[in-house]
Amino acid sequence: MSGDRRETPDRTGPPDDGGPDALFEKLKAYEGQPAAQAARGRDPVNTPMIRHWCEAMGHPAPPDGSAPATMLQVWTMPGLDRGRSARASAYDELLGALDEAGCTSVVATDSEQEYARPLRPGDEVGYDAVIESVSPRKTTKLGTGYFVTTRMDIRRAGDGALVGTHRFRILKYRPAARSAPRARRPRPVVNRDNAGFWEGVSQHRLLVQRCDACAALRFPWLPGCNACGSDSWTAVEASGRGTVYSYVVMHHPPFPAFDVPYAVALVELAEGVRMISNITGVPHDRVRVGMPVELEFLRVDDELELPVFRARTGDEEAAR
């Protein structure tokens, strides 16, 4: 999650003329009120969830069997059962007041966690959350609105010992009008570690690195081998054939150079390495895991060309 707080002029949001802000005064009154009350974690801290989380995150499991501190939020998640949500009415009212004022969009901007003590299998957690602060009206690139920060205190059930604190900040805003001239697609950052890759692109070759010591292929380009640490490598050209290993369809947030929705795919090359790219030749809602794809080069503008993947024609999935 990231926030962008660069101030840019915006004339479509709530008045931002430096005058009195009655809405801010109203929102400010919610500071200190509960956002969630007397909630209980859905499951006790347990070894299977710790193991699955560590595997998914690529995080080494703590040798003493405790839960990694960064799992904190996991133990407070209500799951898909909305009836379990402990959200307090004050928080709903605050969001409702913002909706009414036209600040109907929301983006999570950042979160902070502090850890007080470890959790071990068998521990149960409870938590309360408070509306900690509401910012004065701000105009950002996204629009004009208010940053709302909630603080959740997670405690061990039984003795009530503080386990950790989780601050979560959102921007509720009125979207800015999109009248600016169409932005160019962001430029890749070319540095000495990846210059060879972009040189390959300019020659319509998709180059991956092969470790000279252990022959492991790697992508994206890195100075050293993930498998053996060797910094000696040779660039090899990939066949350009692959399959969609995974994908997401981007709806939000909108970036000026891209028309949502669009698919972003993790393509597994025939050589075994994976790369993130776009899929061409099929609408975003026809992209499927396992779909065969083939490399092509997309001329984006007069100075940018990108390797993308075209759904292979004649393939049943693509034709459906």
Retrieve residue 160's tokens: 């009530």
In the region spanning residues 179 to 218, those forming contacts with Zn ion, defined by CB under 5 A, are 211, 213-214, 216
Contact call for residue 227 and Zn ion (CB under 5 A):
yes
Near Zn ion by CB under 5 A: residue from 228, 236, 249, 260: 228
Contact call for residue 77 and Zn ion (CB under 5 A):
no
246 has which bridge partners? 266
C-beta of 89 vs 230, nearer to Zn ion: 230
C-beta of 163 vs 225, nearer to Zn ion: 225
C-beta of 47 vs 234, nearer to Zn ion: 234
Q: What minimum distance in Å lies between the beta carbon of 219 and Zn ion?
A: 14
C-beta of 161 vs 228, nearer to Zn ion: 228
Q: For residue 138, give the nearest of 30, 16, 4 by alpha carbon.
A: 16
d(CA 288, CA 83): 33
Kindly indicate which of the ranges 75-83, 141-149, 222-230, 275-283 contains the residues binding Zn ion, using the contact rule CB under 5 A.
222-230
Kindly indicate which of the ranges 2-10, 47-55, 140-148, 219-227 contains the residues binding Zn ion, using the contact rule CB under 5 A.
219-227
C-beta of 70 vs 234, nearer to Zn ion: 234
Q: What minimum distance in Å lies between the beta carbon of 209 and Zn ion?
A: 10
Cβ–Cβ contacts within 10 Å for residue 137, how many? 21
C-beta of 195 vs 214, nearer to Zn ion: 214
d(CA 220, CA 256): 26
C-beta of 62 vs 196, nearer to Zn ion: 196
* Residues contacting residue 166 through CB under 8 Å, at least 6 positions apart: 72, 73, 76, 111, 112, 113, 151, 152, 154
Q: What minimum distance in Å lies between the beta carbon of 224 and Zn ion?
A: 8
C-beta of 71 vs 273, nearer to Zn ion: 273
Kindly indicate which of the ranges 15-23, 223-231, 267-275, 288-296 contains the residues binding Zn ion, using the contact rule CB under 5 A.
223-231
CA–CA distance from 136 to each of 2, 19, 41, 42, 139 (Å)? 20, 12, 33, 35, 10
Near Zn ion by CB under 5 A: residue from 225, 265, 267, 308: 225
CA–CA distance from 33 to each of 21, 128, 313 (Å)? 21, 11, 58
Q: Please, is 144 exposed, middle or buried when counting C-beta atoms within 10 Å of its C-beta (0-12, 13-18, 19+)?
A: buried
d(CA 61, CA 68): 7
Contact call for residue 38 and Zn ion (CB under 5 A):
no
Near Zn ion by CB under 5 A: residue from 85, 230, 234, 246: 230
* 274 touches 220 (CB < 8 A): no
Task: Give the total of residues touching Zn ion (CB under 5 A).
Answer: 8
Residue 219 CA, distance from chain mean position: 21
What's the maximum distance between 2 C-alpha atoms anywhere in the chain?
Answer: 67
Kindly indicate which of the ranges 142-150, 228-236, 264-272, 298-306 contains the residues binding Zn ion, using the contact rule CB under 5 A.
228-236
Site of interaction with Zn ion (CB under 5 A)? 211, 213-214, 216, 225, 227-228, 230
